[in-house]
Structure 1
Amino acid sequence: MRGRRQGCLESFCQAACRATGLDDFGDPYYRTGLRVLLRALRRDVRLTLIGHMLLRRSVSLALEQRLLIQEARKAQPELFAAPLLPPLVITGMPRCGTTFLHRLLAVDETMRAPILRELVEPVAREPGVSHSLRDLRLKTELAVMRHLNRELDARHFIRSDAPEECMFALAVTFRTILPWTLAPVHAFLAWYMHADRRQKYREYRDILALLQRRDPGRRLLLKAPDHLGSLSELIAAVPEALIVVCRRDPAIALTSFNSLIDGLHRVTAHDTDRVRLGQASLSFYAAETERYVAARRTWPDHILEVDYENLTRRPLDVVSDIYRRLGLPVGAGLEERLWAFIAGNPKDKHGRHVYSAADFGQTADEIRQRLGHFC
């Protein structure tokens, strides 16, 4: 069994080498997470055809990008040594308004929110037929997911050419919650809960350097709930960053997240268990929020908290607070663009998302009690 596991990992690595013509993956720490993921996929899950395609594609792309990033480090060391414009990073528990705030701020032309297409491939390939085919494949995969999960847009609107979570770029580390969003890999989630994340964020800084290179004069605007339990590691690696943390009643946030993930798992896996999903998510976010509370005590000057109710009721006040903290003026015409975005993106624009803690064998009080340190 051990030999077969190793062979599966090596076959993915060899395929990535053939696809890129490269053979240096950099720091080998990534292999631990990849090995845990592959084992979990074999033992935890019976993948559907689309699930098999998505997970295989995710692993292959991540390994190819590891090779390309390492090649870029060798060819352009000065790029990775250059200072970053202080990036703005939005995080929080999932379903706390991070997507709305991220896309709202993206209307500011002085900021740049990377789109999904460039996040899955932070090292851009040369334009050509293969580039167009990869873009078409990504759009097709998203279209298939929407077809099989008709409520996906209501739960999380995602397109290849729209701003998206930088979690997708961190797939190269094999230390993110991304695999859990794609399939019920319980063993991987349990491992990641306690995994060391220092090297992950050293590589995150390199990814930001690659993204900034595409438009050096604009501040990167980034977003991922995946950062919440890793802020100490993120700030240590990217001390320039200002972190905005969105806060919401955790019982609502966690249940909404469970509903989103359940819908995705039902597309990618034959056997799903809502009660087990709810237990796994609650344990994971109990640990993540404990880590966040500790980071907030250590790095108070780097973190600005935003209340969900304020964000939804008085979004421009929240934006003004963020800009004051950044020391940035609200430029001419920005307020008008912000209001235009708000008017064009009302709540439930893509459908109403209905969910209940009872669907996952939980109560709101149980969740709030478990996450009392965060409340």
Structure 2
Amino acid sequence: MEPSSTDIADIDFDDLTRPVLTDVQRQVLQFTESRHVEFDIAALLAEAVDQAGVGDDLGDTDGFGNRLRAHVAAIEGEQGLTQLTRSSLRQRVVRLLRNRLSLTDLIRRYPEIESIRIEKPFVVVGMPRSGTTHLVNLLAADPRRRALPYWESQDPIPARGQGQGQGQGPDIFGVDPRYTRAKTEHDALMAAAPVVAAMHDRFPEAIEEEVELLDLDLASYVLEWHARVPDWRDYYLGLDQRRHYAYLKKVLQALTFLRGPQTWVLKSPQHCEQLGPLMATFPDATVAFTHRDPVAVIQSTITMMAYSDRLRRTSIDAGWLLDYWSDRVYPLLWACVRDRDIVPPDRSIDIGFHQLNGNEMALLDELYRCSGVAITPKVRGLFQQYLDGNPRGKHGRVRYHLQRHFGSSAEQLRERFDFYFDRFDVRPE
């Protein structure tokens, strides 16, 4: 019998900001710190071209090269990263470039891709740690809808001769090689930092945010989650996101071409501050907004970031994490309050975090009514199956200590977010 969530002990960090590394973690760092990782843009492009095998056309018609230089400069300006992190980010840039090359080639060969309709998507919009992951994975249990599993988000456009769909082939065991790579990386992460599963388990089949696709255009906030890059944050916030969300739609069209259906389930916290571009791109979307006490969002986020920093950074600065993410959550929520009414009330619902604990079926009924789609008995059964198999705290619960670890009280953090509590049904935690 599988253990229930109640059988798994709570996770209580006593070394969050002064980490005591495991043997595996020490070995990983010792191995990776011996070689300095370089970010030469010409070398990055050459590697991507070699991997793609389709030429060097990046489809750069709107300043992609400038964004690439800004992206790399932000990483290079980060002085506290371990070589492990620099290597990971370098691989990520090459991967994004390779996928962009493959996408440009795919659309050149199949121009009908850009005529594919992305029909009436569900979009989940809310802060990290507010229930967005739970809700999007639940919605993805409906087989009539297309979602983005983590393995696909990391390598969305298969290189020639890899992947599945349109002549691309799996390996001899019938497994997409992109899935195999994602599983290998996940297994390595679980060996080095197993408690990550309790905070945000990105296993290969887990449904991921489409901002990973938006980063094929180097136009998302994702880099902020990997490094301390306020310069990139400011650069990203200055971009005209309407054209970048149009690029996101093009990636979704390509993925639909490779593997349907064409009715998508999407989600990202970034949409909170980009509701205008989101709705301009997907005007027939039905949107589920999730809301949670900003204190709970911030303390969960910075605890996860602090734990990750034991491998990502040469030191952990709890004060920096508190200040940065408190200041970052504020404009995300302010923009959400300001622009909430851009989404028509008959095609949107607001969900308090406290409602995602046994009331999901009623919320799904309301959301599907907004979209004009019925929940069939089969789909209802699949929803219940997902809920039964994924109780809250499935991998254990993290115990948070805001004062001890970060030197702040909940009251101090909460006082600046009155505007958010005034607008939505949010309960202090």
Aligned: 1:16 with 2:27? no
What is the rounded CA distance, in whole Å, between the counterparts of 2:406 and 2:234 in structure 1?
18
Moved more, 247-256 or 78-87: 78-87
Displacement of 1:265 in angstroms is: 2.8
- The residue aligned with 1:335 is 380
What is the rounded CA distance, in whole Å, between the counterparts of 2:68 and 2:414 in structure 1?
33
Aligned: 1:116 with 2:171? no
Displacement of 1:322 in angstroms is: 0.6
Please show how residues 119-138 of structure 1 align to structure 2 within 5 Å: 119-125=153-159, 126=161, 127=169, 134-138=178-182
Structure 2 unaligned blocks of 5 or more = 1-38, 162-168, 422-429
Aligned: 1:370 with 2:402? no
- The residue aligned with 1:3 is none
Task: Give yes or no for contact 1:88–1:221 (8 Å, CA) kept in 2.
Answer: yes
- Structure index of larger Rg: 2
Aligned: 1:314 with 2:369? no
Moved more, 36-45 or 312-321: 36-45
How does the TM-score come out when normalised to structure 1?
0.90
Please show how residues 288-327 of structure 1 align to structure 2 within 5 Å: 288-301=332-345, 302-327=347-372
Q: Give the one of 273, 285, 288 matched to 2:329.
A: 285
Q: Give the one of 398, 405, 425 matched to 1:353.
A: 398
How does the TM-score come out when normalised to structure 2?
0.79
Q: Say how many residue pairs are matched.
A: 370
Task: Give yes or no for contact 1:228–1:288 (8 Å, CA) kept in 2.
Answer: yes
Cα RMSD after superposing both structures: 2.4
One-letter identity of the residue aligned with 1:177: Y
SS at match of 2:274: helix
Note the alpha carbon deviations across 1:138-178, whole angstroms, 9 max, x for none. Answer: 32322222223231000011112332222222221222222
Task: Give yes or no for contact 1:122–1:210 (8 Å, CA) kept in 2.
Answer: no
Structure 1 unaligned blocks of 5 or more = 1-6
Aligned: 1:199 with 2:216? no
Displacement of 1:8 in angstroms is: 2.4
SS at match of 1:244: strand
Task: Give yes or no for contact 2:287–2:343 (8 Å, CA) kept in 1.
Answer: no
Task: Give yes or no for contact 2:102–2:158 (8 Å, CA) kept in 1.
Answer: no
- The residue aligned with 1:266 is 310
Note the alpha carbon deviations across 1:163-197, whole angstroms, 9 max, x for none. Answer: 22222222212222222222333432343344432
What is the rounded CA distance, in whole Å, between the counterparts of 2:307 and 2:379 in structure 1?
36
Displacement of 1:281 in angstroms is: 1.3
What is the rounded CA distance, in whole Å, between the counterparts of 1:25 and 1:247 in structure 2?
38
One-letter identity of the residue aligned with 2:363: V
Task: Give the helix-richer structure, 1 or 2.
Answer: 1
Question: Is the alpha carbon distance of 1:311 and 1:47 closer, same or farther for their aligned partners in structure 2, counting shifts above 3 Å?
Answer: same
SS at match of 1:22: coil
One-letter identity of the residue aligned with 1:372: D
Task: Give yes or no for contact 1:245–1:306 (8 Å, CA) kept in 2.
Answer: yes
Aligned: 1:74 with 2:74? no
SS at match of 1:89: strand
Displacement of 1:14 in angstroms is: 2.9
One-letter identity of the residue aligned with 1:25: L
What is the rounded CA distance, in whole Å, between the counterparts of 2:261 and 2:226 in structure 1?
35
Q: Give the one of 39, 59, 62 matched to 2:93.
A: 59
What is the rounded CA distance, in whole Å, between the counterparts of 1:216 and 1:134 in structure 2?
18
What is the rounded CA distance, in whole Å, between the counterparts of 1:83 and 1:24 in structure 2?
25
Q: Give the one of 119, 140, 155 matched to 2:199.
A: 155
Question: Is the alpha carbon distance of 1:341 and 1:25 closer, same or farther for their aligned partners in structure 2, counting shifts above 3 Å?
Answer: same
Of all paired residues, the percent bearing the same amino acid is 24
Note the alpha carbon deviations across 1:249-299, whole angstroms, 9 max, x for none. Answer: 111112111222222233222133121112111222222222222321333
What is the rounded CA distance, in whole Å, between the counterparts of 1:48 and 1:34 in structure 2?
22
- The residue aligned with 2:14 is none
Displacement of 1:310 in angstroms is: 1.2
SS at match of 2:350: strand
Task: Give yes or no for contact 2:128–2:297 (8 Å, CA) kept in 1.
Answer: yes
Task: Give yes or no for contact 2:117–2:262 (8 Å, CA) kept in 1.
Answer: no
